[in-house]
Amino acid sequence: MEIWINPACSKCRGAVRLLDAEGAEYTVRRYLEDVPSPKEIRAVLDRLGLEPWDITRTQEADAKELGLKEWPREAGSRERWISALAERPRLIQRPIITADDGTAVVARTDEAVREALGR
pLDDT per position in the chain (119 positions), as tens? 999 999 999 999 999 999 999 999 999 999 999 999 999 999 999 999 999 999 999 999 999 999 999 999 999 999 999 999 999 999 999 999 999 899 999 999 999 999 999 86
Query: What is residue 56's DSSP assignment?
Result: B
pTM: predicted TM-score of the whole model, two decimal places: 0.93
Instruction: At 98, give phi and psi (nearest 5°).
Output: -105, 125
Beta strands at 96-98 and 2-5: parallel, antiparallel or unpaired: antiparallel
Asked if 28 contacts 16 with a C-beta cutoff of 8 angstroms, the reply is yes
Question: Which residues, including other chains, have CB under 8 Å from residue 66's CB and lie 6 or more apart?
Answer: 84, 88
